Amino acid sequence: MNQKYNALFEPFTFENGIELKNRIMMAPMTNFSSNPDGSVTDAEVDYYARRSKGVGTVITACANVTANGKGFKGEFGSHRDDLIPSLKQLATGIKKEGAKAILQIFHGGRMCPPDLVPDGQIVSASSVPAEQGQTKGIVPKELSEEEIKEIVDAFGESARRAIEAGFDGVEIHGANTYLIQQFFSPHSNRREDRYGGSVEKRMTFPLEVIEKVKNVVAEHANEPFIIGYRFSPEEPETPGITMDQTLQLVDTLADQGLDYLHVSLMDFTSKPRRGVDTDKTRVELLIETIGNRVPLIGVGSIYSADDAVKAMEMGLPLLALGREIIIDPDWVQKIQNGNEEDIATTLDKSKQDELVVPDPLWQAIVNTPGWFPGVE
């Protein structure tokens, strides 16, 4: 192996003592391939297992914590105890290949298609419709405080199920316009109670979810268990989340006793669109704000080995590969074996079987121009 890539393969140990074999993670990506009842399919287990041989950690696609939180067709769930055996299959399939398994848990909020949720009733922090996505213009029901508490408890129950299924951790999905982000966003949260108003009050729901998950883990986990949190730094809407607001959020999150924070970006070199007067990248600002309080996972347009080294040189201790680990499941092994020039960075549309990609995900990829390099 070329020595300049050594840093990618150093083990990483969390504060809780869990050690990752290297710094590369598989990023959470929806795959549309689960059974209608929310159970995991064999095709999904095979897909994850194929990518678990090289990476140190796999963060799964999101699993809904309540029936009305399902955001995608073909999404696996974590909202019922009868799904634990299914989740166990997934955790086992990942771990037997040597990677740590982290279950991402979420609620889609106003981004849930009405035909996927009970009575077609989508919910959010306030009755403000989304301006983008498949639910654009649909007015959600504003959650009552009692309903909010039920969802907070549901995040805790999903964490318990993840523990019982044998996962090594959970990632709380506070990014990508879903419910937790909807509570933090001034676009979707117009509440005037303790959950809305100032930046600090808009943090209330995310912090309650974190506290609940931490308490459940303390009660149910017999060994160290990872708790991570994913966030998106900005929103295009006005009003919307701005970079300065996210820096306030991250400053608070860094003191919550989490094992990591995970920034959701399309490009790890991107710069803020508003809220701060600087030429620094979003990642640089986040690292400055966090300091050494909690590890930050970076993701976004990391394709080549040199891209990964560049991201680590920015100060990111852990890197998550999304599209690239689908394009080339052997990315890690190729670098280790000194064959980094053989890494595929564009999708070969003739290799679905070799890449072990479930058909629903494959169809989504090849029919969405611009999402993956090589798909026109």
Note whether 357 and 47 are within 8 A (CB): yes
- Strand, coil or helix: 354: helix
Radius of gyration of the chain measured on its C-alpha atoms: 19
- Hey, which bits of the chain come out as E strands? 12-13, 19-20, 24-26, 57-64, 100-106, 123-124, 141-142, 169-174, 226-231, 260-263, 296-299, 318-321
Tokens 């058909």: give the residue: 359
Q: Residue 87: which residues within 8 A CB-CB, separation 6 or more?
A: 40, 63, 76, 78, 103, 161, 162, 165, 167
Distance of CA 283 to the CA centre of its chain: 17
195 is catalytic: no
* 267: Cα within 13 Å, side-chain hemisphere: 6
Q: Provide the token pair at 6.
A: 């050594």
Burial class for 88, CB neighbours closer than 10 Å (0-12, 13-18, 19+): middle
Q: Provide the token pair at 15.
A: 């504060």
Tell me the CA end-to-end span of the chain in Å, nearest whole number. Answer: 34
Q: Provide the token pair at 337.
A: 């074996």
Q: Given the residues 5, 47, 48, 178, select the one marked as catalytic.
A: 178
Helix (H), strand (E), coil (C) string for 111-155: HCCHHHCHHHCCEECCCCCCCCCCCCCCCCEECCHHHHHHHHHHH
Annotated catalytic residues are: 178
